[in-house]
Amino acid sequence: MSIVVVENLVKVFEGFPALRGVSFAVEEGEVFGLIGPNGAGKTTTFRILATLLLPTSGRVEICGLDVVRRAAEVRRLVSYLPEEAGTYRNLTGYEYLKMMAEVYFGSGREAEEALELGLKLAGLGDRVYDKMKTYSRGMKRRIQVARALMVRPRVAVLDEPTTGLDVIHSNAIRRVIREYARKWGVTVLLSSHNMSEVEGVCDRIAVIHRGRILACGTPDELREEHGGVSLEEVLIKLVGEGA
């Protein structure tokens, strides 16, 4: 059963068409990757899924709920990590995660469990009690990934979760996402420029370019169908054809 359904999604910004009829579906428990060059429409698609933007036309449903008409309910099911999510300078990582746990679960046992999971996912040790303005970019990203996943959403939408991070931090975050999705059966949608990352983490991938989905399938299917040795070659070939 498809937990995310996107049908003929169009988004126009002040005359500029950012999405020109995007369609795809994601199954429950799947890790789904959206790849494409800069300005392809990945972030716009994710922002619509996260109820931050309204579609110009088309249909988007998460767990059978329309993201426009039932946005409040969708927000309870979806956790979104923006590409450039910032942190509160004067809060500690612990306080931030605790606040998020309370926003979702109040102050009961569920909140404590969520906080415990968040602390584990962040893996910052005692530094989690320091103010976040003292964190490195990698530490901030780990806190944000932990924040997005600790509430065990039905769907986690992660926009470029490892962007700007070094190999060590990227690898740590990839491992967290992969293990987390497997363990909790959470559906994950992620975007990335890093093809090896997408190949290692995602069950299925959609290639988006200039607001259109050019191809969709497992990494093996895409390689087979489009005749590339690696996903990078597939992307270059598809984007070149689509240009």
Partner 1 sequence: MRRFSSSWWARGLKPLLLKEIRELVRDPRIWIPFVISALILPVLGLVIGASMGEAIRGAQVPVKAGLVIADSSPLAREVVARLLEVGPARGVDLVVLNVSGVEEALHRALELGLECVAVLPPGFGESLEERRRPNVTVLYVVRTLSLFAPSRGARLVSLLGDVVAERLISGTGVSLDLVKKPLREVAATYIASKGVLVSGDAGRAVTSLALPAMLVPVVVMIVAVGVVQMAATATAVENEERTLEVLLTLPVDRFTILLSKLLGSFAVALIGSLLSILGFIAYFYVLPSAALSLGEPVLASLHILVGAESLAWILASLLVALFFAASLGIVVGALSSDVRIAGALSGPLVMLIFIPGYYIALADTLSLGQPLRALLYTLPITQPVILSKEAIAARLPPETPLYIAGSLLVSLLTVMLASRVFTLETLERIQRAIARLWRRRGAPR
Q: List residues near partner 1 by CB under 8 A.
A: 14, 47, 50-54, 72, 75-82, 84-91, 95-96, 98-100, 102-108, 110, 131, 144, 147, 151-154
Q: Exposed (0-12), middle (13-18) or buried (19+): which is 134, by Cβ within 10 Å?
A: exposed
Structure tokens at 24: 């795809």
The minimum distance between CB 82 and partner 1, in angstroms, equals: 4
The minimum distance between CB 50 and partner 1, in angstroms, equals: 5
The minimum distance between CB 130 and partner 1, in angstroms, equals: 13
The minimum distance between CB 35 and partner 1, in angstroms, equals: 22
| CA separation, residue 156 to residues 6, 23, 46, 234 (Å) | 15, 19, 10, 26
Alpha helices of the chain — where are they, by DSSP H?
A: 42-49, 71-77, 93-105, 109-122, 137-150, 167-184, 195-201, 219-226, 231-242
Distance from the first to the final alpha carbon of the chain: 34
Structure tokens at 71: 């946005």
Q: CB of 77 within 8 A of CB of 62?
A: yes
Q: Which is nearer to partner 1, 77 or 216 (CB)?
A: 77
Q: Which is nearer to partner 1, 96 or 235 (CB)?
A: 96
The minimum distance between CB 103 and partner 1, in angstroms, equals: 5
Q: Which is nearer to partner 1, 107 or 230 (CB)?
A: 107
DSSP conformational letter for 101: H
Q: Which is nearer to partner 1, 151 or 207 (CB)?
A: 151
The minimum distance between CB 61 and partner 1, in angstroms, equals: 17
* Closest of 49, 86, 82 to residue 67, by C-alpha: 49
Q: Which is nearer to partner 1, 84 or 241 (CB)?
A: 84
Q: Which is nearer to partner 1, 26 or 67 (CB)?
A: 67
